[in-house]
């Protein structure tokens, strides 16, 4: 009678063994995904900078004058023309260099705005800070992101345009 019982116990180990393999595989997959997860803080920092340029009270998104609602993919051309990054970024950090460019077929030219923390925000200062050999080892490209937006408050508006953010950070 014991021989019949042992054969039955051996047969019960087969489902237990498969269950053990499945549980071990799931646990190993969870451990592997957590251990090798790529958390890139530069992407988070870049998105925060773009959000502050676009959605702050002095930002470049269009805000309805009556209901004060902001439209995230609609750029106010007059705000873009009059944008001052020094008012936008009220920080003591002198680490960021940013170039924001608006291009479209409807515009005769591309419009650019620059931000160089700690100095005058001009194209010459942007190029100098990025290219000059003294700074080239210290400047790290944070990222370049293109956003397709609708432009309003322009003589030909509304029309589609490409808004490019090119950001560098000092190491």
Structure tokens at 83: 């944008």
Residues 109-124 have a mean pLDDT of: 75
pLDDT at 94 over 70: no
Q: How many percent of the chain have pLDDT more than 90?
A: 8
Q: Kindly indicate the confidence band of residue 133, based on its pLDDT and cuts at 50, 70 and 90.
A: very low
- Give the span between the Cα atoms of 43 and 50, in whole angstroms: 11
Q: How many CA atoms lie within 13 A of 147 on its CB side?
A: 20
What pLDDT, on a 0 to 100 scale, did the predictor assign at position 24? 96
pLDDT at 134 over 60: no
Range in 9-13, 37-41, 87-91, 130-134 with the lowest mean pLDDT: 130-134
Q: Vertex 40, ends 145 and 141: CA angle to 5°? A: 45
- Cβ contact 115:101 at 8 Å: no
Which candidate, 74, 75, 62, 66, places its Cα nearest to that of 111? 75
This prediction has a pTM of: 0.66
Phi, psi at 132, each rounded to 5°: -55, 140
Cβ-based neighbour number of residue 96 at 10 Å: 19
Q: Which run of H or E residues covers position 143?
A: strand 139-152
Q: Kindly indicate the confidence band of residue 19, based on its pLDDT and cuts at 50, 70 and 90.
A: very high
pLDDT at 111 over 80: yes
What pLDDT, on a 0 to 100 scale, did the predictor assign at position 90? 63
Region label for 118, one of left (φ > 0), alpha (ψ between -120 and 50) or beta (otherwise):
left
Length, in residues, of the chain: 171
Q: Kindly indicate the confidence band of residue 25, based on its pLDDT and cuts at 50, 70 and 90.
A: very high
- Give the span between the Cα atoms of 156 and 166, in whole angstroms: 26
What pLDDT, on a 0 to 100 scale, did the predictor assign at position 57? 72
Which comes out higher in pLDDT, residue 57 or 65?
Answer: 65
Strand partners, 76: 152
């Amino acid at each position: 009678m014991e021989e019949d019982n042992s054969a039955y116990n051996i047969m019960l180990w087969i489902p237990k063994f498969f269950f053990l393999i499945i549980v071990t595989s799931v646990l190993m997959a969870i451990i592997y995904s957590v251990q090798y997860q790529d958390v890139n803080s530069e992407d988070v920092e870049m998105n925060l900078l773009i959000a502050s340029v676009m959605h702050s009270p002095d930002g470049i998104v269009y805000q309805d004058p009556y209901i004060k609602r902001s439209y995230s993919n609609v750029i106010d051309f007059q705000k873009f023309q009059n944008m001052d990054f020094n008012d936008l970024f009220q920080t003591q950090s002198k680490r960021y260099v940013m170039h924001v460019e608006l291009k479209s077929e409807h515009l005769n030219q591309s419009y650019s705005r620059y931000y160089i923390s700690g100095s005058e925000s001009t194209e010459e200062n942007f190029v100098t800070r990025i290219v000059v050999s003294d700074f080239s080892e210290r400047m790290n490209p944070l990222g370049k992101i293109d956003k397709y937006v609708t432009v309003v408050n322009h003589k030909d508006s509304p029309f589609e345009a490409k808004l490019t953010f090119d950001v560098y950070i000092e190491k």
